[in-house]
Chains A and B, each alone.
Chain A
Amino acid sequence: GQSLEQPSEVTAVEGAIVQINCTYQTSGFYGLSWYQQHDGGAPTFLSYNALDGLEETGRFSSFLSRSDSYGYLLLQELQMKDSASYFCAVRGGSTLGRLYFGRGTQLTVWP
C-alpha cells in the first residue's frame, strides 16, 4: 500500500521561509508532487520531482531524496495568499502510477 506523512499545520509570518516535509512509503515509486488547495477550492498543481534534487519554480521549490523516501516543499517570501493546504502526492502503485495524496499541511501566514 501507500502512506504519506506530512505535518498537519505550519504557521509563519509574511516574508518568511517555510519548509513542509513529506515522507512516503509506496510499492513502486515514479515521482512526488505537491498541490495547493485553498478553502473550498480544488487542488492545483505546484511541482513534480521524479529524480533526486531540487526543482525551483519562482518562490516555490521542491526537493526529493528517493533513497530516504523523503521530499519537501520550500516556500519563500511568504505572502498572505499562500495561506492554504499543501498536499504531497506520490505517483506509485501500479506500473501506470496512480496518484496518492497525503493528509495535507495547513499553512497559515500571519501579517
Chain B
Amino acid sequence: SQTIHQWPATLVQPVGSPLSLECTVEGTSNPNLYWYRQAAGRGLQLLFYSVGIGQISSEVPQNLSASRPQDRQFILSSKKLLLSDSGFYLCAWGDSMNTEAFFGQGTRLTVV
C-alpha cells in the first residue's frame, strides 16, 4: 500500500533562518506531488506541484522553493524565513488522474 511520510511534525524557526521540509512517498511510482500551506482556520493554498523529477510548477510567488530530486521525494525550502511563512505545511500525492490526493501528517511551522 502507498504511504506518505512528512517531517518534522513541528518546527520553530527564527526569522531569517533557512528551511527544509522533506516528503517521501512509498508504494507508488511517478506520483504527482503537491505542497500546500494552511494558515490557522483557513483553506489549503497550493504552493507547488510536480509531475516528475525536476519538474516543478509554482502557484504563488513567494520566498519558498521546491525541488524533486528523486521520483518519490519532494522538498520545500526557503533561504530566509519570514514571519508570514508560519503555517501548517502539507505534502500530498495524487495518481496520474488526480482524482484523489493523499496527505502527509503535516508540519506545523512557527517563525519567531
Q: What is the CA–CA distance of A41 and B9 in the complex, to the nearest angstrom?
A: 11
Q: Is the CB of B46 within 8 A of A30?
A: no
Q: What is the CA–CA distance of A98 and B51 in the complex, to the nearest angstrom?
A: 10
**Cβ-based interface call for A29 (8 A):** no
Chain B residues closer than 8 Å to A100, beta-carbon distance? 46
**Cβ-based interface call for B74 (8 A):** no
**Cβ-based interface call for B101 (8 A):** yes
Number of A-B residue pairs with CB-CB distance less than 8 Å in the complex they form:
59
Chain B residues closer than 8 Å to A98, beta-carbon distance? 34, 46, 49, 57, 59, 98
Question: Contact mask B33-62 → A, CB, 8 Å, 1/0?
Answer: 010100000111110010100000101000
Q: Which residue of A lies closest to B42 (CB)?
A: A103
Q: Is the interface of B mostly helix, strand, loop or mixed?
A: strand
Q: How large is the interface on B (under 10, 10 to 19, 20 to 34, 35 or more residues)?
A: 20 to 34
**Cβ-based interface call for A24 (8 A):** no
Nearest Cβ on chain B to A2's Cβ, whole angstroms = 9
Top 10 nearest A-B pairs (CB, nearest first) are: A103-B43, A42-B103, A101-B44, A97-B98, A45-B100, A48-B99, A104-B43, A98-B49, A101-B43, A43-B103
Cross-chain pairs A/B with CB under 8 angstroms, 5 sampled? A30-B98, A33-B99, A45-B102, A99-B98, A104-B43
